[in-house]
Structures are given as structure tokens and as C-alpha cells.
């Protein structure tokens, strides 16, 4: 058995749990949507852990510069404001690059699962849906809902608005 065949068999397993093909299809796809969301969040947490010290430094610098730009504006010092704002923007670029890494870690399982779904089911009519609906129509809504739901479960405090600019600089928090 090749590695691809092994992965294929693994991904097909949840589709074999129901007798009815329609029920099996929806259960399998919803299961994969949730599983890939959980794997994505796990990977994102791992990447966030490895980035931790650099991220604290970069996000701290971004927040610090943004604070100083606000203080410069408050003091009426336009030159200092523009200079601090420029430095804040430079630091924000680094912060964005780190956030992109966390975003990629979050999304790769869903994208690869979607690719597999297209390989398996492209051209097949999606049960109970309109004729041009494809695997992404069935997969993406529960996947996005699972990402949101698991994220809420893991970080319930995120409901409250962040108190510091540092939180904002973090972009997507782990």
C-alpha cells in the first residue's frame, strides 16, 4: 500500500459508517471538516509556541511604537508622530509575517482535505443540493463553523474586547 493509498483509506473510513450513501456522504464530509479544523488549530498552536519569544518581541515593539505615535500626536509633535507611525508600520510588517505562518498552519489541513474531496467526488451530484454544487459547497461551511466553534471553546476569553494594542498586533491569536 502506497502512502497515498493509506491516507485515502483513512479519509474514506468515516464514509463507511452509514448504510445510506447520502447519510454516509454528509457524515463523512462533516467529520472531515471538523477533524481538519481540529488538526489546523493544533498546528497553529504549535507554530504559535515556536514563535512565542519572537512574537512577543515584535508585537511588543508594534504596540510600543503605536503608543508612542499616539503620545506624539497628543503632544502635538507631528514629525515625531509620523516617525513613530512609520516605525510602528515596519514592526507591524514583521507581525503580519508571523501571523501568516499561523494562518497557514491553521488552513493547510482543510485545503488538502478539500483537494482530496475533489479528487474523490468531482463530477458527482451532491445529494439534495443544486446541480452545480461541488465538494467545496458541502465541506467549507461546516469547516468554517468548526474552526470558529473550536476556537471559541479553546479561547472563551476572546469574546471580551482586547484591552491592549498588543492584542491587536497579535492578529490571529493561537
Partner 1 sequence: MAGVGHMSVFGFGAYAGAFKKSAPELGKIITDSIKASNQFLVGTSAAISSFNYLKMGRLVLPLAISLGIGSLIGAYLAAALSAGKLDFKSYQGYFGLFVLFLGCYLFYQTTEGAKSKQKTAKAAAKAFEDSVKKQKCGEDMTGCDIGLKIQKFTVSTCEFTFYGVPFKFNPLIPFIGGMVISAIAAFLGVGGGFLLVPFLTSVTQLPMYLAAGTSALAVLVSMVTSIITLISKGTPIEWGFIGIELVGIAVGSFVGPMTSKYLSDSLMKRIFIILSLYIGVGYTLAGFVGFKIPGV
* Range 47-106, binding partner 1 (CB under 8 A): 47, 50-54, 62-63, 65-89, 92-93, 96, 98-106
Nearer to partner 1, 29 or 84 (CB): 84
Q: Does 3 bind partner 1 (CB under 8 A)?
A: no
Q: How many residues make contact with partner 1 (CB under 8 A)?
A: 71
Q: Does 155 bind partner 1 (CB under 8 A)?
A: no
C-alpha 94/C-alpha 56 separation (Å) is: 11
DSSP state of 164: S
Least separation in angstroms between CB 20 and partner 1: 27
C-alpha 141/C-alpha 106 separation (Å) is: 16
Q: How many CB atoms lie within 10 A of CB 2?
A: 7
Phi, psi of 88 (to 5 degrees): -65, -40
* Binding string, residues 100-139; x marks residues near partner 1 by CB under 8 A: xxxxxxxxxxxxxxxxx-xx--------------------
From residue 13, give the alpha-carbon distance in Å to each of 22, 109, 113, 158, 160.
15, 17, 14, 35, 40
Q: Which of 119, 124, 98, 107 is nearest to 41 (CA)?
A: 107
Least separation in angstroms between CB 40 and partner 1: 9
Least separation in angstroms between CB 173 and partner 1: 8
Taking contact as CB under 8 A, which single stretch among the options 1-9, 13-21, 27-35, 165-173 is the one that binds partner 1?
165-173
Amino acid at each position: 500500500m502506497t502512502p497515498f493509498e493509506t491516507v485515502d483509506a483513512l479519509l474514506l473510513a468515516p464514509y463507511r459508517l452509514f448504510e445510506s450513501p447520502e447519510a454516509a456522504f454528509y457524515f463523512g464530509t462533516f467529520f472531515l471538516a471538523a477533524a481538519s479544523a481540529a488538526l489546523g488549530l493544533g498546528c497553529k498552536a504549535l507554530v504559535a509556541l515556536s514563535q512565542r519569544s519572537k512574537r512577543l518581541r515584535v508585537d511588543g515593539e508594534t504596540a510600543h511604537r503605536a503608543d508612542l505615535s499616539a503620545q506624539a500626536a497628543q503632544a502635538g509633535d507631528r514629525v515625531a508622530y509620523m516617525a513613530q507611525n512609520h516605525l510602528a508600520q515596519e514592526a507591524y510588517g514583521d507581525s503580519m509575517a508571523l501571523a501568516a505562518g499561523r494562518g497557514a498552519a491553521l488552513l493547510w489541513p482543510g485545503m488538502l482535505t478539500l483537494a482530496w474531496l475533489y479528487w474523490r467526488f468531482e463530477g458527482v451530484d451532491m445529494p439534495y443540493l443544486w446541480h452545480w454544487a461541488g465538494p467545496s459547497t458541502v465541506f467549507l461551511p461546516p469547516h468554517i463553523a468548526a474552526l470558529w466553534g473550536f476556537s471559541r471553546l479553546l479561547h472563551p476569553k476572546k469574546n471580551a474586547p482586547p484591552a491592549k494594542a498588543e492584542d491587536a498586533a497579535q492578529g490571529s491569536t493561537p
